[in-house]
Structure 1
């Protein structure tokens, strides 16, 4: 058991979680804290992010902080990284999880709709990854990044129409691979997870006929939970994955296999 704990321990690490105020980000942040890490929540929902950070600190007896940060603004991201490093003492790992979906038929997508999704889901991942990597390089530190992509980067969703989301997540997968190759010489590993349909605050509000369609099309015959993503993220952030970079780990209940 001691060896198992050591394999997946994040003890002594400081982990940034973007989009960590709720949903997948919040649940995964809790699990990361449970295996020993201190947590920094980046989120636009300032009060909710602070409440999440305070709750994690109390529950897991770790150090936390919340930073209101718009991941689409490089200068704000850089300031947030600097602020987090100053308050936490260091930064080690990043879970890039902020994202949105705006389901709409492609013929009806307005330019602002398209740009909003791409800016948050793809550009935001790059801007935070770049600022975080610059911090690591400047301080001669090794580190790891896990990005949240989606099975939507591999398949086309149905019945909802989400061309902007699918495109952004496909971009995250290939960005992950590109950064992995470019940064391996710097000791920075970059991987991503690609969740299938996960039951969260957002998906529970989707029309029931959509949820039924998703479940019926998934061999597991259910949606996943945020808790079922935590192990994948912890593995990819931990030293157990020291020879793994550029990986897209699909966690989808076999959805993409049929």
Structure 2
């Protein structure tokens, strides 16, 4: 329809809508304050200084919590300890197979915590405890020491574990048994002793460290017993989470993907093709840094996850999605 005909068919009020709108006059912008005014600048600087202060949801704080981490002299377990210290924890038990290594790790952790900090070494009560997690008696003794030292335990992480790569036909039985004794039985003994001490005090948080291998089959390396063990740990956490839910003890799982620990870096330094394969299979295109797990472990161990039990958090760069 021609524009002239369209205009004749519309009422007068509608025709006015077809006219090009007038460009409104923009009033001159007036400064609300003089930017050169010293008082204003001082006020803005004061606001900026307050805004720069780190603010964290209080429930994420680990202050006044007694934490225990197994397999913590090195690797991911040690990274979890650092995360707890950075989140305010001052009472921590580093548990590992060799007590001298656990004690050395405790000393190093305290030293690092006091760098660029107002805290003094005497402000921390970090101890190293020797423990073979595959032994129920050894785990019981470790918890007894922690309870004697601190009087309570609030957050426990079962991080001790090993991985080996044998084909299914070549896997020696004694190595399979050792892997299950540490990765599965050790996680169970740790969780059970934690709950025994937490229930009388009103509850606590237990985190079992599994792996993305609990959900997928890793390639190209063969590791069937390890994958099955981590799947067992994941379901163990879910089962214990239900069993102890009304007793105040929460049990959750943290499942890391491929992480660049010192040990992994050493291994991959001699096998760059394996590193490229792992990275190519990860949607984010890289392996994880140990500190990438800090937020997740603090969330699970703190009151921020107080209505969460029997759940799994995967930190794998998207590996399990595809």
TM-score normalized by structure 1?
A: 0.96
Counterpart CA distance in 1 for 2:255 and 2:307 is: 19
Asked which structure has the greater CA Rg, the reply is 2
Q: Does 1:177 align with 2:229?
A: no
Spell out the pairing of 1:1-258 with structure 2 (5 A cutoff).
4-37=56-89, 38-60=91-113, 61-137=123-199, 139-204=200-265, 205-206=267-268, 207-258=271-322
Counterpart CA distance in 2 for 1:244 and 1:132 is: 17
Shift of 1:2: 7.6
CA RMSD of the aligned region, Å? 1.3
Q: How many residues align?
A: 257
| Gapped regions of structure 2 (runs ≥ 5) | 1-52, 114-122
Shift of 1:5: 4.2
Higher alpha-carbon deviation: 198-207 or 110-119: 198-207
Q: Give structure 1 regions of 4+ aligned residues with deviation exceeding 6 angstroms.
A: none
CA deviations 1:133-184 (Å, max 9, x no partner) are: 11122x3331001111000010001110000110100000000000000001
Shift of 1:3: 6.4
Counterpart CA distance in 2 for 1:256 and 1:114 is: 25
Shift of 1:88: 2.3
Shift of 1:48: 2.1
Q: Is the 8 A contact 1:33 1:62 kept in 2?
A: no
Counterpart CA distance in 2 for 1:117 and 1:7 is: 36
Counterpart CA distance in 2 for 1:87 and 1:4 is: 29
Higher relative contact order at CA 8 Å, sep ≥6: structure 1 or structure 2? 1
Q: Tell me the secondary structure at the aligned position of residue 55 of structure 1.
A: helix
Counterpart CA distance in 2 for 1:239 and 1:140 is: 15
Counterpart CA distance in 1 for 2:80 and 2:147 is: 21
CA deviations 1:32-67 (Å, max 9, x no partner) are: 011111210110132221111112223334210011
